[in-house]
Amino acid sequence: MPYASHLRTRRSRIGHPLRRWALGALLATLAGCSTLPLPELHPPVPTHWRQAPPSATPAAPTDLRGWWRAFHDASLNALIDRALADNLDVAQAMERLEAARALHRTAGAQFLPQLRAKTEDVPDPDASASFFVAGFDALWELNLFGRGTAERRMARGDLDAAASDLRAARVSLVAEVTRDWLDLRAAQQQEQWLTRIRDMRRQQYLMLQTRQRLRLAGAQDVDRARAALAQADAALVEPRDAIDASAQQLATLLGQAEPDPAWFKAAPMPTLGAWRLHSLPADLLRSRPEILHAQAEVLRTAGEAGLARANRYPSLALGGSLIWSTSLQAHRPTDDNAVASIGPVINIPLFDWGMRAAQAHAKEHELKASVLAYRQTVLQGVAEVETALGRLRRQAEYERHCTEAAAALGHADDVMARRAALKLAGPMDQAESAIASDQAALAQVQARASHGLAFVALFKALGGAPLPAGDPSERTQERD
């Protein structure tokens, strides 16, 4: 039969247009009514922060995407910009996000018409002839029982998970750079004060040696002074080690092998300026990477559950082919033949239906578990922020007390210096007063560093970090 006549015959078998419309409406109904609905998440977030600082603080709200600028340190700002551009962990997360985007763009492609060209060498069963066969195969699987929605949900879940991983990498990077920079500057300040204390201890030791030679001090006093000097020298090891470690860690975060020499030049430690928190607990659902990842896991698991549910039912596709063949035997010529065909392709689960039903039930339980995991992640995020808020408030109080103590001892040291100038106090008394003042200043540096680190921990818990260029600031869960 000629190809055109054969095709007309096939078309005549399809039936009246009304029946085709009825069949299309039925398939559309089957495709939509069986979609598994997404579960309600019901995130357990409180209405306000229990440990929130007073809202009357005279400061502009601190930007969650630029919170480190509250330290007013241009060098820190430049370091974070360099780290966001050059950090290798962030670069890896960006590549994984691009991979997820590429797969997301093709989600549901199996429900588009597929066309395949093929050639093959086919022998007769009696091995008396051989034929060359060429043609096209076409297949169009219909999106029934929510299969397409399930595929899109899985792809979207993977995409959102990759996006949350990138955000987590950026949040962690910004927090680590800020923390290491504060540690570096604090260690440099500690080294300076400990050096002053060590010098005063050496001066005391030398004075006691002189007094011992004059028989004005005993050997026990000299031994104690020598021990204090040795302890002062030993105390310098810790900040110097912290300087090297912080500088090397900063270099790693910036994607370079060696620290910048400028980092080793001592400079004042960044001081936290006025700030005000305007973030609410509900904002965690859009900013904290762990919560975003748990939400993406719910969406992906919902897609898997929907696909397992759809696999319990038949799959229907429209197939067609056009095949042309000719003999490869020169001594046995045959006419070229072209055959076209079109018709439905139906796959009905029979003997493995029970296994498919069990898989569907298992995926439904995994979906419920992912929702519970999401709620647990929200609770953990709220608890971490509340803990960080409380610690930040207490560290601010501790720094204030240390500052008051340093100011009082500094004033006392000034008084002692004037008394020594008037010969009303001896050099040993003046040295002890200076050491006490320096130790108070050292404690103030440590308190200021702890206060700054508590601030870093708070905004890391809040998920504060700049978003990648071109990405939306908020992401909402897919709804059908």
DSSP string, 253-303: HTT-SS--GGGGS--PPP-----B----GGGHHHH-HHHHHHHHHHHHHHH
Each residue's pLDDT tens digit, 299-322: 999 999 999 999 898 888 888 888
Each residue's pLDDT tens digit, 206-264: 998 988 888 888 889 899 999 999 999 999 999 999 999 999 999 999 999 999 999 99
Total count of residues recorded for the chain: 480
Determine the CATH number of domain 34-108+147-307+355-461: 1.20.1600.10
- Could you state, in order of their start, the residue ranges of all structural domains in the chain? 1-29, 34-108+147-307+355-461, 110-142+314-348
Burial of 459 (0-12, 13-18, 19+ CB in 10 A): buried
Residues 6 or more apart whose Cβ sits within 8 Å of residue 170: 84, 90, 93, 465, 466, 467, 468
Task: Average the pLDDT over 334-356 and give the result.
Answer: 82
3-class SS shares of the chain: helix, strand, coil, % to 5? 65, 10, 25
Sign of CA pseudo-dihedral 247, 248, 252, 253: negative
The tokens for 457 are 């921990």
Determine if residue 16 is left, alpha or beta; phi over 0 gives left, psi from -120 to 50 gives alpha, anything else beta.
beta
Each residue's pLDDT tens digit, 415-440: 999 988 888 888 888 899 999 999 99
Q: Among residues 446, 436, 432, which one has the least CA distance to residue 410? A: 436
What distance in Å separates the CA atoms of residue 337 and residue 263, rounded to the nearest whole number? 81
Task: Average the pLDDT over 10-39 and give the result.
Answer: 55
284 vs 338, more confident: 284
Determine the CATH number of domain 110-142+314-348: 2.20.200.10
